Chains A and B, each alone.
Chain A
């Protein structure tokens, strides 16, 4: 079945550590890719998106993600996390002419 897979359910890091959250998808053809973040008690917000062009995309708050077509992956990265990055992160895929599909989410806890 077509799906979006996030490899880590819960990640715990100390401040200043580097972050990489994995995301793989199984849809073929053209896809649009997104990372959303949900801070505690808040609504989902868009972190970054990829439609075409440079496979390394930069988003808000120092996040970036790299689209690797051959690996069907769109991993999220941040060189140095802060306590305020504690949140749930969702990878999402919008297959061409189809509806947005979300991964299961990764909960990030950053310890001060």
Chain B
């Protein structure tokens, strides 16, 4: 299993600002995944972050809005840019285990006023 730590655990932000969420894993992993869980909804994959290459974004998500960094095999950041109330959500970092399951951080709960 993997232990995943996310910061911040929650934040309240003003419209138009940006917030960077950090994800630290206790082991080296090739792929890290960023998910969004909007209130009352399921998890939606935002992007897949591979170390040493550009992140791969899912339909409906763009790099300008959700820039991702992956400087090494244990760390990634997701930035939510120019936030609006519609961005209020829980943002989850995850990594894949040896047998295909995902391990998740505790999430970062973002509220945009």
- Give me the interface of A with B, judged by CB distance under 8 Å: 32, 34, 36, 42-46, 49, 51, 90, 92, 94, 99-105
Decide: B99 and A102 in contact? CB cutoff 8 A.
no
The 3 closest A-B pairs by CB, nearest first: A44-B104, A43-B106, A102-B43
Alpha-carbon distance between A100 and B44 when the two chains are bound, in angstroms: 9
Decide: A34 and B43 in contact? CB cutoff 8 A.
no
Least Cβ–Cβ distance between A26 and chain B, in angstroms: 15
Decide: B100 and A104 in contact? CB cutoff 8 A.
no
Decide: A94 and B107 in contact? CB cutoff 8 A.
no
Decide: A43 and B104 in contact? CB cutoff 8 A.
yes
Least Cβ–Cβ distance between B15 and chain A, in angstroms: 27
Alpha-carbon distance between A49 and B104 when the two chains are bound, in angstroms: 16
Instruction: Kindly list chain B residues whose C-beta atoms are within 8 Å of the C-beta of A90.
Output: 42-43
Instruction: Kindly list chain B residues whose C-beta atoms are within 8 Å of the C-beta of A101.
Output: 45
Alpha-carbon distance between A46 and B98 when the two chains are bound, in angstroms: 13
Decide: B100 and A49 in contact? CB cutoff 8 A.
yes
Decide: A43 and B33 in contact? CB cutoff 8 A.
no
B 40-68 contacts with A by CB, 8 A: 41-45, 48, 58
1/0 contact string of B92-113 vs chain A (CB within 8 Å): 1000000111111111000000
Alpha-carbon distance between A101 and B44 when the two chains are bound, in angstroms: 7
Least Cβ–Cβ distance between B24 and chain A, in angstroms: 14
Least Cβ–Cβ distance between A87 and chain B, in angstroms: 14
Alpha-carbon distance between A44 and B101 when the two chains are bound, in angstroms: 11
Alpha-carbon distance between A42 and B43 when the two chains are bound, in angstroms: 15
Least Cβ–Cβ distance between B95 and chain A, in angstroms: 11
